Each structure stands twice: as structure tokens, then as C-alpha cells.
Amino acid sequence: MQRTKSISLIHGYLLNKNLLIGDVLDFKVCGFGSDVVLLEEKGIKIVGYDQTFQVILLKI
């Protein structure tokens, strides 16, 4: 599994506009979870799920 090192266009936009507020669910399009990891590193409380890749990224 290889993760990208830059955030996706849509998540970058939402982050720059301060629209990622509260608990965030990245549903269906999180792929291998690159954005989830990158946003978490920026202090966003986020969980990702993508049925296509059967990836669930949770902090327990």
C-alpha cells in the first residue's frame, strides 16, 4: 500500500476554508487513507472508510 504525500484537491480546499469542523468522516472515497493520515497530522479529528478498498481507519 502506497500513500500519497500531498492532500487531495477537495480536502485541501475544505482545510484552507476552515470547513473541516468537529468530527469528520471521509466516506467512500478515502482510498488507502492518505488524506485521513495527512489531515490527522494537522489536528483534524477524522475517520475514513472506503468499501471499495475495504479500508477502515480508526483511532481506538
Q: Sheet with 46-50: list strands edge to edge.
A: 24-27, 46-50, 55-57
Digitized pLDDT (tens) for each residue of the chain, 60 residues in all? 556 678 989 899 999 999 999 999 888 766 677 888 899 999 999 988 877 766 555 554
- The residues spanned by each domain of the chain are 22-60
Grid look-up 466516506 returns 27
pLDDT of residue 4: 65
Say what the alpha-carbon torsion angle 26, 47, 10, 50 is, to the nearest 10 degrees.
Answer: -40
pTM of the predicted protein model: 0.72
